[in-house]
Amino acid sequence: MKAVTISPRCLEAYPWMQFGYCFVKELAPMPDMRPLRERQQLLELHVRENVATLSHAAKAISRFYKTQGEKNRSHIESLVRSIHNGKTIKPVNYIVDSVMVAELTHALPLGVHDMNLVRGDILLDVAIAGEQFEGIGGRTVVTRPNEVVLRDEIGIWASYTQGPDSRTIIQPGTRDVMFLGFFTPETHREQILQGLHDAVGTLLQVAEGRADQVTILP
């Protein structure tokens, strides 16, 4: 089992910091994806009926993005606005879609990565300005001072605000995953617990698998 910790440097920079995660193993997708597609359709209605509440929560994420040097609003706030304006949700794959449903239902910054592509133990840390990793699509991501990142023995594999790397993203053959739950100063522990349980529950409606307990650090 991979150890997951928060670095002293991260807690010094952000004394309020917490981090949620859950491992789900031996995934085998079921032939019928209708429960997930129905959740996605209901989600669009949920967002449009609760846009004020969800936008308020999403703005809290965007406020933390700004402290990280990010000029753009959070992807959660952007997605809430887009769906409210009539955009429909396009399926990606059953794992990523399960996370997106939970993210937008609760307006929380969640994520998911291929656990077998993460090397060694996992550290929630802060970056030094100018560190680099390869993001999705081969783009070079350059970190900012005290940017919240995840590291393994190879290096950074995700940034809170700048997204995942290209190494650990979900692949067609992914069978073991790690769900992530990021906090802001305005996020409550119970919210991340609920969001992660929702993501895992949605996934296990359309796939067989073994889920570990949802854990919140520290």
Distance CA 86, CA 83 (A): 5
Distance CA 35, CA 113 (A): 22
pLDDT digits 0-9 by tens, 9-30? 999 999 999 999 999 999 999 9
Distance CA 107, CA 49 (A): 14
CA dihedral sign of residues 70, 62, 122, 173: negative
Which residue segments constitute the domains of the chain, with CATH numbers given?
4-217 (3.50.40.10)
Distance CA 166, CA 19 (A): 22
pLDDT digits 0-9 by tens, 169-184? 999 999 999 999 999 9
Going by the DSSP 8-state scheme, the letter that residue 165 receives in this structure is B
pTM exceeding the 0.85 threshold for the entire prediction: yes
> How does the average pLDDT of the chain come out, rounded?
96
Give bridge partners of residue 125 from the DSSP assignment: 149
Rg (CA), the chain: 16
Over range 139-153, report the average pLDDT.
Answer: 97
Strand 215-217 relative to strand 207-211, pairing: unpaired
Amino acid at 168: T
Instruction: Give the pLDDT confidence score for residue 90 in this predicted structure.
Output: 86
Instruction: Give the pLDDT confidence score for residue 208 in this predicted structure.
Output: 98
pLDDT digits 0-9 by tens, 65-102? 999 999 989 999 999 999 999 988 888 999 999 999 99
